[in-house]
Homo-oligomer: A and B are copies of this chain.
Amino acid sequence: MVEKDDNVVFVGKKSIMGYVLAVVTQFNSGANSVIVKARGRVISKAVDVEEIVRNRFLPDVKLDNVALKTEELTSEDGSKSKVSAIEITLKR
């Protein structure tokens, strides 16, 4: 993947507002697009982040694309499991 990592926000276990701040900061630093990524149960948190960024902080930012996919994870013991993932692309 040729992708500038600084334009990607991975949503995980931290608070929603922490990720909102990360996205807003990237746009305010001049980014034209930011991709919000999440896997598994925190997919819903990624949607919260996107909605709060656009409705409360950056109304000029548009929802450019939403990709849904399945990723395969390999755990430490070598067993594999599948997990759903989302990639939300926001564009100014």
Contacts and interface: CB of A to CB of B under 8 A. Distances in A.
A70 interface: yes
A66 B50 CA distance: 13
Contacts of A44: 40-44, 84
Interface string A41-74: 1111001101100010000000100101110000
B51 A47 contact: no
A55 B69 CA distance: 10
Given A40-B44, A43-B47, A44-B40, A88 B68 contact: yes
Contacts of A42: 44
A88 B85 CA distance: 14
A44 B63 CA distance: 19
